[in-house]
């Protein structure tokens, strides 16, 4: 028999539901389970009966509710179908104390974290809560169904938070990838601008060199023209003085 996973939820001993013979074809009729599960999706208390319920009827109704809250486990082994239902045995104070001790032992054995998010601790406490629901349902089915609704609401809330966390992680990863891609593009753009700056700086230096060369040539040309102009002025002045002296000699009468 295949051993089932250990759980804090108490189960009865496995029961052989049906088996197939070696002579039958594997395409024969499917196996049928002797205990059918209720067809309803949500467990509800059975309708009240006209007669006062007896202890056996109450126990049977509680077992049906237990099988609805915790469906039986089934597995196949060597063409044999086994079924294991949740235990309907009443619990005592000793069972509750033992459950607490077993919970602490499993937390230590599986090295569950004491704080923060821990999948192992969450699973063990979920099993412990299921066992408490089972114990309460045996004594009061209505109270057990209410606890079952609370458990479903808690699991739905945890699932919603988990989906939100996974969505936020995916969003963060997308943003990180986009930022990384944007960083690469920005670095390329910076490199291109740096190359362009260097090219413009080179062109500026060339233009400055040309400007200095032109300014030097113009200064030399201006100085040459100024020197030539000064020489022409001196020549014209000398010529003027000579012509003036000759004119004065011609005008002045001889004694």
Comparing 19 with 43, the larger pLDDT belongs to 19
Both tokens of 218, joined, read: 């113009």
DSSP class per residue in 73-132: EEEEETTEEEEEPBP-----HHHHHHHHHHHHHHHHHTT--SSS--HHHHHHHHHHHHHH
Report, as an integer, the average pLDDT of 222-251.
89
pLDDT value of position 211: 94
The answer, yes or no, to whether residue 30 has pLDDT greater than 70, is no
- Report the percentage of the chain scoring pLDDT > 90: 29
Q: Give the global pTM.
A: 0.53
Strand order in the sheet with 73-77: 15-19, 80-84, 73-77
**Dihedral, 131, 64, 152, 47 alpha carbons, nearest 10:** -130
DSSP class per residue in 139-194: H-HHHHHHHHHHHHHHHHHHHHHHHHHHHHHHHHHHHHHHHHHHHHHHHHHHHHHH
Average pLDDT of the chain is: 81
Comparing 253 with 158, the larger pLDDT belongs to 158
In the block, residue with structure tokens 């060199």: 209
Instruction: Give dist(CA 76, CA 83) in Å, integer.
Output: 9
pLDDT value of position 192: 93
Q: How confident is the model at residue 223 (pLDDT cuts 50, 70, 90)?
A: very high
The answer, yes or no, to whether residue 203 has pLDDT greater than 90, is yes
CB half-sphere exposure, 41, CA atoms < 13 A: 1
Report, as an integer, the average pLDDT of 183-210.
92
């Amino acid at each position: 028999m295949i051993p089932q996973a250990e759980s804090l939820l108490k189960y009865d001993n496995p029961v052989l539901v049906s088996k197939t013979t070696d002579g039958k074809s594997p395409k024969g009729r499917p196996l049928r389970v002797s205990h059918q599960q209720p067809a309803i999706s949500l467990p509800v208390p059975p309708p009240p009966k006209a007669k006062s319920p007896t202890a056996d009827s109450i126990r049977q109704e509680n077992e049906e509710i237990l099988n609805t809250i915790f469906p039986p486990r089934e597995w196949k082994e060597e063409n044999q179908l086994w079924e294991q239902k949740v235990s309907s045995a009443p619990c005592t104070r000793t069972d509750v104390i033992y459950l607490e001790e077993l919970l602490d032992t499993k937390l230590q054995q599986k090295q569950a974290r004491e704080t923060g998010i821990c999948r192992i601790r969450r699973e063990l406490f979920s099993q412990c809560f299921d066992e408490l629901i089972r114990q309460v349902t045996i004594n009061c089915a209505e109270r057990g169904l209410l606890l079952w609704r609370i458990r479903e609401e808690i699991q739905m809330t945890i699932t919603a938070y988990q989906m939100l966390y996974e969505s936020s992680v995916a969003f963060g990863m997308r943003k990180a990838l986009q930022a990384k891609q944007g960083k690469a593009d920005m670095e390329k753009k910076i490199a291109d601008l740096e190359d362009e700056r260097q090219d413009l700086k080179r062109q500026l230096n060339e233009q400055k060199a040309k400007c200095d060369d032109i300014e030097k040539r113009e200064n030399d040309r201006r100085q040459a023209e100024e020197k030539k102009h000064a020489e022409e002025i001196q020549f014209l002045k000398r010529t003027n003085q000579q012509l003036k002296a000759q004119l004065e000699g011609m005008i002045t009468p001889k004694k």
